[in-house]
Amino acid sequence: MPVRRARSIVCYWHDNAFVAENYRTRTTVSLEPLGAELLNELGEWIEEEKAAARFPDFDPESVLQSLAELEAAGLVVREGDPGADGDEAAGTAWPEWNVSARYLHAMTKDAPYTEDTPELRARMASETERPALFKSYPDADTILLPRAPRRLDTPFEDVLYGRRTHRAFADRDVPLADFSALLAAVFGPAAFIDADAYGGLMQRTSASAGARQETEAYVLVRRVTDVAPGVYHYNVLTHALEFLTECPPWQDVARLSVNQRGIEDAAFAVVLTSLTERLRSKYRTARTYRIMLMDAGHFAQTFAMVATALGLGPFQTAAFTDSAVEGLLGLDGVEETALYLLGAGVPAEGPEGTEGLKRPAGLEAFRRSRPGPAPAARPTLSPG
């Protein structure tokens, strides 16, 4: 039967070896030059003997033996085998997202889960292995934010159904009390727990895997009462803004998010980042990358809900230029990386405000959509 190389292969160098990895079958093989050349010739279905004939300088039997080893390693599939269809799907799915999405998806599935181990406890007992609970910029100029309570007593139902993504804002400053309350409620500590070998850990109003609290907040201020425009880090421990640098012209900030109107007119923006060490210190599988993204989503939703309860209009987007944002914040993009861009302001009034964001769907809108799945084909009966 004809053979071809698996579609779901990624190749890279690791420890001075050239590695081929089938992310569908989770097999990894170090390849010699002949193996790599042989895989290169197997892009489409081909009979084994014809494949061997493409290497006239080698003994055909040795080529066939290499081919058998590649097949045993899951790098070659055989036409008609049960795994061939699955390989085609895994290697060509989601063409718009390309191989990076397929690889991440497959390699973070079915990860082993271990809540705790003696080795992990011993490692976390070491002061050098335990990440700091809080990040700060001790040499930065600091604005201590007010701690006067701001009740979030808007009925939950009103907040839940009133939350909308705002893209139009009034040309007004956000009151300092509202701004301070928003940061405290979303990013400040809600409680501290005794986590045994992990020490005291912080809890916040958003879910965080293992209470690792890897999410940090950086604030780009444009229009907040009594806060000078600038780029700040929010210090969770002291409830303060640490000044990092002057804020670029706001049109340049908007360009960081592809000139989306939600940031263009916002009173301030918040960049959510992740300190990866806090997660890696406990969770040691690639699936943790998924967790990191989920945690950022938890905080973004809490931000939107609290902003709504305070009468502000929230905005959130994943459409931003990562490297430029990280450069502005002075981050390396690896040990700490930007994940999400949020914004808020006083909602615009009139047709540009809340009621004018989107008009309700009517008959014509539903005619242009497909509310349900496509009709299934009727089964046909085979003769006899």
Main-chain dihedrals φ then ψ at residue 225, nearest 5 degrees:
-55, 130
Same domain for 99 and 230: no
pLDDT at 344 (0 to 100): 97
Q: Is residue 136 part of a domain?
A: yes
Within a 10 A sphere around the Cβ of 101, how many other Cβ atoms? 12
Same domain for 93 and 141: no
Q: Is residue 178 part of a domain?
A: yes
pLDDT at 8 (0 to 100): 94
Domain boundary, last residue among 107, 134, 164: 107
For the segment 37-65, the average pLDDT, to the nearest whole number, is 94
Same domain for 287 and 210: yes
Same domain for 214 and 90: no
Residue 334, pLDDT > 80, answer: yes
Q: Is residue 375 part of a domain?
A: no
Same domain for 341 and 199: yes
pLDDT at 112 (0 to 100): 83
Give the separation between CA 313 and CA 263, rounded to whole angstroms.
11
Domain boundary, last residue among 52, 75, 107: 107
Domain residue limits at 11: 3-107
Contacts of 265 (CB under 8 A, 6+ apart): 167, 168, 169, 345
Residue 384, pLDDT > 50, answer: no
Strand order in the sheet with 313-317: 142-144, 240-245, 230-235, 215-221, 268-275, 336-345, 313-317
Q: In the structure encoding, which two tokens stand for residue 310, read together?
A: 């305070």
Angle among Cα 22, 25, 30 to the nearest 5 degrees reads: 40
pLDDT at 352 (0 to 100): 59
Q: Which pLDDT tens digit goes with each residue over 347-359?
A: 998 655 554 467 7
191-194 and 9-14: which strand pairing? unpaired
Give the separation between CA 279 and CA 211, rounded to whole angstroms.
9
Q: Looking at mean pLDDT, say which of 201-215, 346-360, 364-378 comes out highest.
A: 201-215
3-state SS of the chain: helix, strand, coil percent to 5?
Answer: 35, 20, 40
Q: Which pLDDT tens digit goes with each residue over 303-315?
A: 999 999 999 999 9
Which CATH number fits the domain that encloses residue 217?
3.40.109.10
Q: Which pLDDT tens digit goes with each residue over 82-118?
A: 888 889 888 889 999 989 999 999 999 998 877 778 8
Q: Is residue 384 part of a domain?
A: no
Same domain for 43 and 139: no
The lowest-confidence range among 119-128, 194-203, 260-269, 336-345 is 119-128
For the segment 24-29, the average pLDDT, to the nearest whole number, is 92
Q: Which pLDDT tens digit goes with each residue over 218-236?
A: 999 999 999 999 999 999 9
Q: Is residue 362 part of a domain?
A: no
Give the residue carrying structure tokens 């007593």.
153
Same domain for 190 and 78: no
Same domain for 68 and 134: no
Q: Is residue 301 part of a domain?
A: yes
Same domain for 26 and 138: no
Which CATH number fits the domain that encloses residue 62?
3.90.930
Domain boundary, last residue among 53, 83, 107: 107
Q: Which pLDDT tens digit goes with each residue over 118-136?
A: 887 777 777 666 889 999 9
pLDDT at 382 (0 to 100): 46
Same domain for 302 and 177: yes
One-character DSSP codes across 121-180? HHHHHSGGGS--S----TTS-EEEPP-------S-HHHHHHH------B-SSPBPHHHHH
Residue 327, pLDDT > 50, answer: yes
Q: Is residue 94 part of a domain?
A: yes
Tell which residue, 234, 206, 44, has the closest CA to residue 143. Answer: 234
The lowest-confidence range among 18-22, 246-250, 354-358, 363-367 is 354-358
Mean pLDDT of the chain: 91
Q: Identity (one letter) of the amino acid at 98?
A: N
Give how many domains the chain has, as a whole number: 2
pLDDT at 127 (0 to 100): 63
Give the separation between CA 266 and CA 170, rounded to whole angstroms.
9
Within a 10 A sphere around the Cβ of 206, how many other Cβ atoms? 20
Q: In the structure encoding, which two tokens stand for residue 326, read together?
A: 């990280």
The lowest-confidence range among 71-75, 350-354, 363-367 is 350-354
Q: Is residue 383 part of a domain?
A: no
Within a 10 A sphere around the Cβ of 54, how many other Cβ atoms? 14
Separation of first and last alpha carbons in the chain: 31
Same domain for 171 and 129: yes
For the segment 72-88, the average pLDDT, to the nearest whole number, is 90
Main-chain dihedrals φ then ψ at residue 250, nearest 5 degrees:
-60, -25
Q: Could you tell me the pLDDT band of residue 365, with boundaries at 50, 70 and 90?
A: confident
Same domain for 170 and 58: no
- Given a contact cutoff of 8 angstroms between Cβ atoms, the answer to whether 59 and 141 are in contact is no
Give the separation between CA 25 and CA 171, rounded to whole angstroms.
56
